[in-house]
Structures are given as structure tokens and as C-alpha cells.
Amino acid sequence: MLNNLVLVGRTVEDLTVVTLDSGLKTCRMVIAVQRGFKNQDGEYDVDFVPVVLWDGIAEAVANNCKKGSVVGVKGRIQVRLIEVKDIKLNILEVVGERVSFINIKRPDALESV
């Protein structure tokens, strides 16, 4: 069995690290990943992929990236079951195991006007 993927995309928002009651740190991000082919209108569609990061990776990414940074994510897919008003939903997300900074926009960098 194999559960492994690689994505390259842009972060769609600034990131924040959350410390759980257990002491673990986590960060959730969404990356916009452009498809490798054009649709029938001649445009590239974009998928918005949820990624969850843990501990050191979460802190490093949140400290070094902000909205619009291009990152590469190596990880695995996981499915979480949640229940909302007696409806069971399977939530698909990526667990980021390694993140490469390709073209980052630093949180502390000055914006050009």
C-alpha cells in the first residue's frame, strides 16, 4: 500500500500556529494548486487543497510564509469522519510531512507600494 503525494501551490492566507491542550502545535493551511491542463474555456482550473501541519513543520511554515507564498508539500492523504446534525461527513485533507519553500513572501517583509 502507498499513500504519498507531492503538491506545489500558493498559500491562500496568512498562517497561524495553534497549540492544543495536549501541547502539540498545529497549523492548517490551504494551498491553491493549478491543474496541469486547460478546461473547455481554455483556462486553467485551480484546486484549493487543505493541508494540516504538525509541530516543528507547522511553526517553520507559519513563521516563514504568508499569503501568496509558493510551497511544495510532500505528505499523505487522510480522511477524518465528522458528524454535523446527524450527518456523517468524510473530510479529505493532506498531512504535510515535508514543506519546501519555493518562493516565499515573508511575514516580516515590507510590502512594496
- Over residues 43-89, the pLDDT tens digits come to 999 999 999 999 999 999 999 888 999 999 999 999 999 998 889 99
The answer, yes or no, to whether residue 2 has pLDDT greater than 60, is: yes
The answer, yes or no, to whether residue 15 has pLDDT greater than 70, is: yes
pTM for this entry: 0.82
Output phi, psi for 67, to 5 deg: -50, 130
- Structure confidence at residue 104 (pLDDT): 77
The answer, yes or no, to whether residue 105 has pLDDT greater than 80, is: no
- Structure confidence at residue 106 (pLDDT): 67
Query: Positive or negative, the Cα torsion across 49, 54, 56, 62?
Result: positive
- Give Cβ neighbours of residue 83 (< 8 Å, ≥ 6 apart): 89
Strand partners, 7: 73
The answer, yes or no, to whether residue 21 has pLDDT greater than 60, is: yes
CA pair distance 28, 26, nearest whole angstrom: 7
Output phi, psi for 99, to 5 deg: -125, 130
Contact 61, 27 (CB under 8 A): yes
Q: What is the helix (H) or strand (E) element at residue 19, kind and residue range? A: strand 18-19
